Structure 1
Amino acid sequence: MKRRDLLKGGAVAAVAAGASTLTAPAIAQQRIEITIVSTWPRDFPGLGTGAQRFAQRLSDMSDGRFEISYFAAGERVGAFDSFDEVASGNAQIYHAADYYWKGKHPAWAYFTSVPFGLTYTEINAWIRFGGGQALWDELAADSDLKNLMCGNTGVQMGGWFRKEMNSADDFKGLKMRIPGLGGDVLSKLGASPVSLPGGQIYENLISGAIDATEWVGPWNDAAMKFYEAAKYYYYPGMHEPGAMLAAGINKDFWEGLSTADKAIIEAAASMENDVMMAEYNAKNGASLTKLINEQGVQLRKFSDDIYDSFGQAAAEVFAETVEHSDLARRVHDSFVQARAEVGGWTKISDQEYLRQRNRVLGV
């Protein structure tokens, strides 16, 4: 071997050795530990599996640099303790429905769903292009959080009842599990709304501690076996026409991330927002058929009179909500504008098309 080649080979080896000593620590420094807590039971269809899918996607999209520790409700903290766990920095992300935090500020309800609110497509438009995200950021910043859309369950059912609901008077004295501003609406009608995490609803319904419950829709509700305690299944729900779920991220943690890592989290959350809604739409119809044909569930539609009562009560709730603060009023006003503008378009696009399609097909 020539001396020149020997020297060249030695130089290459030296560079390679230097690179190996630098690469390992650099990679180690890039690893980011992320603890995720959720408000859902482990492996619960849609909500729980969607949160777990989001967690796995964060790991996959970062090629393992994000080291994820996922905890379902009750495994690290209670379901409703997830907010404080992340706001304090003890965990980095929660997956939840933000209307659970309306006791902290009523504006949180708008970033899940409110009575007579926005559907899935409408709330996406509001958050992304109607000023919703900026208002959400302002609200969340007060609790050291940054929040992103991370799932949706679509238009929800009105709930499970032990008796037929023929008029607004039937809600008087009713103990019903229903969170958010929807619970406040029923309170105006004389009901006693109860907020319970998903894992505690069945036992309370079976025991008689509550008389009725809403949850999500046929796919989830069938898994919860509510039909064992209540046979009357009402639709449509006025309280959650497009329940958006959230990834709530500790703001200090978020601001310490690189632009690329923020983009990974945003992309994973956005993908779950799409995938979860598709899964609910794919599975709700077949699940409803089974509930009716195999479990003897009685499907009922709320009357127009009952819905009118819901509307009057909702107007009272909103009037009280906007008096809370300037931020609550600005969030509500922005939501109302989106409902008018986006909803006005869907009325002549989606709704009219579906009406004509169903008429032609005899559906």
Structure 2
Amino acid sequence: MHNSANVYDCDALCSCVDKEKCDLICRNRPAHFVQRVRDIGGFDLGTVPRVAPVDTPVLPKIVPLVDHKSAREGRFQSDAVALPLYRVVDLKEGKLHVHSREELADRFHISASTSIVLSGVEKDPYIERWWELKNRKEILQELQRLNISMITSPNYSVLTDAPRTDNLYAIKRIALTWSEMVSAGMPAALHVNARTERDYLNWHAMIADREEVAALAFEFATGCGRPERIDWHVDHLCQLASDLGRPLTLFIRGGARKLPILMQHFPRVTLLETESFSKTHRRRQARILDGCKLKWALCPTPKGAPLDELFAHNAATVRQFHELPQRSMQRKLSASKPIIRRASNRYDQTVQPGLLDNIHSASQARSVAANRHGMVAAAKT
């Protein structure tokens, strides 16, 4: 870790008052630490079970995410849609909410023939409950029978305000859940979460050694999308793609403005876009201005009126916008202004400023070492 903080090692980031109630993977709670490390077979990614390769389907560049069916009457028509994995699986009961493609289509009001991507990106409580399920193998076999086109592994968090061992535990679980998905015969994208340069080197070694890794996933919507960090992650992803010597498909959530550069290094990039759905439910209508700007105008609807038409318009407009010629995209990028956000920790709370006074980011950049990229200043990635 490269920083100017007053710490001797990563154990200094353990700030729990009552260590017996802390769920971080930390040596200061020895019995808990040993059990969790045994659960994952150690931190080494090389011990992840090998699996037979599964062909990666060709999907559109832009795939809208459909979160639920509320406020729509008809079925959304699209070549492909993304659905939240944790709304298809009943995490409380440990079983699927549906048993056929028709039931799945009815649950989300989508076409039964559309290609489906299940997104494993979610807040920590959901992805932790996925890990706690003892019958993940059976659930994945049921999902495989639904003819799912692609599934992305959970995005377990790598936190800045936590001991390094907690990061390694999260990364290993990402790899293990991906392996389970491919083992069930499902095309799966390995979600690459990283906090340090060493994390990317470890991912590189694992992916280079395994031809069964045909697709990667990445999420820019939270910590990794911070203006001071996004280029660092993009550079590492592009370098990884260039070094491997074999084609990889990339699935991303957020970071749409980085599509042009990512597409220069990955032969296929698919954006799982969430704006068209979320903006529709906020009664906003998408408009393309000057051929290079996406704007959202107020679009009030009568009380109780269905949103089918507005959602269809927004999804089509967002797709059109992201498929503009690269020159227009570059004009849009040059005109955009960075938005500074404060990342959240694993409990969706603000990072403790007292703990990270000397290693957290933009507002305190004067106290960060010149090369701060060894340690990512983003709590939720």
Q: Which structure has the larger Rg over C-alpha atoms?
A: 1
Q: Same fold (TM over 0.5)?
A: no
TM tier, smaller = under 0.3
Greater helix share, structure number: 1
Q: What TM-score does the superposition give when structure 1 sets the normalisation length?
A: 0.27
Q: What TM-score does the superposition give when structure 2 sets the normalisation length?
A: 0.26
